[in-house]
């Protein structure tokens, strides 16, 4: 009998490389379609929006759900590991063990991305496609650099890789998130 040696897949090697990166303080490293992409720390406007959304979520979601700003979310179908600006995950679905272990995309209940000039297209296209295909029930895109002015896009009801429902609200209008979150966010605070 001979022993069979199983070599790690290219995906496993890429994730391991990502996990072992020494990323400067405040920076984020994501895997976007088989490439490791570094993002500098966000600006104050970005941080204020993240803070307002976090406060709204804390008041509305159950105690056994968690809100993360640095949790990787794996999207093997897209050869990606994203770090959403905010992601809501049930506590029992948060990976244990290795602190850099990404959460499988299908465990996320809500992903929130806040655009920066350098990543707006990734948030609008690549992540939209990935979150829909991963079955993330809600994707909230806070697009500070939208063509027609700052807006919030809420995507919901993913089916066959496409969000069936889309709600657009210019900054200043309230945005209501349906189940599983069920809350209204005042985008006037953005």
Tell which residue, 126, 81, 143, 142, has the closest CA to residue 108: 81
Q: What is the mean pLDDT of residues 25-36?
A: 92
Q: What span, in angstroms and rounded, lies between the C-alpha atoms of 78 and 89?
A: 20
Q: pTM of the full predicted structure?
A: 0.91
Q: Give the chain's mean pLDDT.
A: 91
- Predicted confidence at residue 96, as pLDDT, reads 76
Lowest mean pLDDT among 34-38, 50-54, 74-78: 74-78
- Predicted confidence at residue 36, as pLDDT, reads 93
Instruction: Express each pLDDT in 84-111 by its tens digit.
Output: 999 999 999 888 766 578 999 999 999 9
């Amino acid at each position: 009998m001979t022993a069979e040696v199983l070599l790690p897949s290219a995906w496993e090697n890429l994730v391991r490389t990502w996990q072992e990166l020494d990323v400067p303080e405040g920076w984020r490293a994501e895997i976007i379609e088989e490439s490791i992409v570094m993002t500098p720390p966000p600006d104050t406007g970005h941080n204020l929006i993240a803070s307002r959304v976090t406060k709204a979520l804390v008041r509305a979601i159950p105690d056994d759900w968690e809100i993360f700003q640095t949790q990787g979310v794996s999207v093997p179908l897209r050869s990606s590991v994203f770090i959403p600006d905010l992601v809501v995950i049930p506590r029992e679905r948060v990976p244990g063990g290795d602190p850099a272990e990404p959460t499988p995309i299908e465990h996320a209940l809500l992903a929130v991305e806040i655009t920066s000039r350098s990543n707006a297209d990734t948030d609008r296209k690549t992540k939209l496609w990935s979150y829909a295909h991963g079955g993330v029930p809600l994707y909230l895109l806070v697009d500070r650099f939208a063509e027609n002015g700052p807006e919030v896009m809420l995507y919901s009801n993913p089916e066959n890789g496409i969000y069936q429902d889309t709600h657009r609200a210019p900054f200043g209008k309230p945005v209501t998130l349906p189940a599983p979150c069920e809350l209204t966010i005042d985008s006037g605070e953005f």
